[in-house]
Chains A and B, each alone.
Chain A
Amino acid sequence: AGSSENGKQHTLDPIVTGASVLGVKYTGGVMLMADTLGSYGSLARFCDVERIRQVNDTTIVACSGEYSDLQYIDDLLHTLVVEDYAEDDGASLNPEEIFHYLSRVMYNRRSKVNPLWNQAIVAGFADGKPFLGYTDLYGSTFEDNLLATGFGQYLAMPLMRKAVEENEGKMSADEAKALLEESMRVLFYRDGRTINKFQTAN
């Protein structure tokens, strides 16, 4: 949006948005949880939105922020996956590679001042190792045992950190699920742009 007298303008306001995504590594895997709301400003407009998407056999990606950009990212990564598949050489992109690719795309878009308005988490399990990475509209990247986007960073992370600390990073899948569910509950209470319906993936 912007007046035409200023030449080409890029949209800098997200329209349909997703709330937090939470991710945690556990023994033998990684788990993500996100609610299924697509907000239209303050209107809780689309209540059945899948914000966690599967990329390939080893990787999943989930986004907060602009939903149409999530759809675009999904298509972009799908193209990568099809190329892999067509090569048919027994090798496929692992979570770290997909994470790196996505973060480069995000950074390049930000450098053109036309960002994909998302905070994304890439998670996966390959070669017996869990992977969890965060990238966002600026192209920043972090990798950790627990990550969150949006309000989750402020409300859920302290809770998650405490639980993981006590478990010394040796959580089971059930414990991870319980932790994430508890965190989603807190987010539902306090984040005004959430609903009590969510999607889990691991």
Chain B
Amino acid sequence: MLATRALRLVGKRAISTSACLSGGHGVAKVEAYTLPHYSDRQDNPLPDIRYVQNLSPEQQSLKEKEMGSWSTLSNEEKIALYRISFKQSFAEMNSGSSDWKTVVGGIFFFLGLTGLLVFWQRKFVYGPVPHTFEPEFKAKELQRMLDMRMNPVEGLASKWDYENKEWKK
């Protein structure tokens, strides 16, 4: 910022001579990211600079006309002036896109792929489950749970009919 202001005030030729005088290194190169930039943002409605920096001759004449009374400007000219200053209108910048379809499709695809991988892993990588998963063992577990009256109010044992030795209807 200071470098650009210094350049504008003193003039290019004067800077180069003073740079030569001060040891040949001169002013540091002005990086683009240090200068004011344009961005279409909802929370920053008036950017630091115009969108179109290098005006064509018609645009320049339009800018001259803008100096006068605005009632002489036609609607197309007003729109052209807007487009010089801004890249996208609020409606354009806030409009949604169809990207979500790609994203959701990609999510489902990779979920499916992962499911196939997990299934393959279960079948070909893992060994057999412990003997405690066998149906007879599970039946003995359930009988023991009923015997010790687990959750007799609202849970498991409340659903078993102890007189008739069957599940309650």
A and B associate in one complex: no
Name B's A-contacting residues (CB within 8 A). Answer: none
